[in-house]
């Protein structure tokens, strides 16, 4: 197994604990994925830090995530979801280790840039004084259409899962994405390559990683996306039955990253960039 650098951080994980109820209007129902299972994975990978991201089935109830932060202390940071129009104890959350707020557009099929912009602006304004970042899950086409608006937000933007960019470097949107990285306005998470590639070992993603790393290695992060939701097509009829997790070789993930980047850039992505963004 690949030996990752000391202090490596998995910047995108979820915990699903049945003791915390899911939102009634959720798009899917996951099975359990405990903090203990997450710790076991990270022990096997040699990862010592984690960023827990609020998953959509919990809606704006961040209780499960906050409980995990309480037991993990300085080993973990959190990214919450909240309604910027409603009161929220942001200062208390910050003290527990929250460093970002997420706007999930892709899960709810929001792909109209004009519709997406309002919640992005509202959430960014709510968190600006805390020094948090805005985490966004959306299609590359939305990122490209809103590139100028994202660059003007008062907080950094973190784009989930390669910004769902195609491995085909000729597709529209990549120049806008790399410009955002170079400007310092955005980060990209090199997480869940299975979401953008069906190639063996996701070999076709390597050139995309090289392009992003050439543009701005200091603006890249890495995550497993454990426990890998999305194990079946989602319909209104199956959203309340338990969806299986996808079967992903997590042990291969850090080795693949280092194959793509080399050790020096890999260390920057695994250790240095998370320290700077999340304040470990």
- Dump pLDDT digits (tens) for 16-37: 999 999 999 999 999 999 999 9
| 243, burial (CB in 10 Å: exposed 0-12, middle 13-18, buried 19+) | buried
* Low-confidence spans in the chain with pLDDT less than 70: 1
State the DSSP code for 155.
S
Q: Residue 110: its pLDDT value, please? A: 84
Q: Are 165 and 173 in contact (CB under 8 A)?
A: yes
What structural domains does the chain harbor?
Answer: 9-278 (3.20.20.140)
Q: Residue with structure tokens 């710790």?
A: 39
Distance CA 167, CA 202 (A): 9
């Amino acid at each position: 197994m690949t030996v990752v650098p000391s202090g490596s951080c998995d910047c995108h994980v979820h915990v699903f604990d049945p003791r915390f109820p899911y939102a009634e209007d959720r798009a899917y129902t996951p099975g359990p994925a405990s903090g203990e299972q997450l710790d076991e994975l990270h022990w096997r990978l040699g990862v010592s830090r984690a960023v827990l991201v609020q998953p959509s089935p919990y809606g704006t109830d961040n209780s499960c995530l906050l409980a995990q932060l309480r037991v993990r202390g300085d080993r973990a940071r959190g990214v919450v979801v909240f309604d910027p129009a409603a009161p929220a104890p942001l200062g208390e959350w910050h003290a527990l280790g929250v460093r970002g707020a997420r706007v999930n557009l892709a899960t709810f099929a929001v792909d109209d840039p004009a519709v997406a912009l309002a919640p992005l602006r509202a959430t960014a304004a709510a968190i600006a004084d805390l020094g948090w970042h805005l985490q966004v899950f959306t299609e590359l086409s939305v990122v490209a259409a809103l590139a100028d608006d994202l660059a003007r937000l008062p907080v950094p933007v973190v784009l989930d899962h390669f910004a769902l960019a195609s491995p085909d470097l000729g597709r529209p949107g990549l120049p806008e994405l790399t410009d955002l990285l170079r400007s310092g306005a955005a980060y990209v998470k090199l997480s869940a390559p299975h979401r953008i590639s069906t190639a063996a070992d996701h070999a076709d993603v390597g050139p995309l990683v090289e392009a992003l790393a050439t543009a701005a290695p200091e603006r890249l992060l890495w995550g497993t996306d454990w426990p890998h939701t999305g194990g079946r097509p989602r319909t209104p009829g199956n959203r309340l039955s338990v969806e299986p997790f996808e079967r992903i070789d997590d042990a291969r993930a850090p080795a693949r990253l280092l194959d793509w980047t080399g050790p020096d850039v890999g260390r920057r992505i695994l250790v240095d960039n998370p320290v700077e963004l999340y304040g470990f």
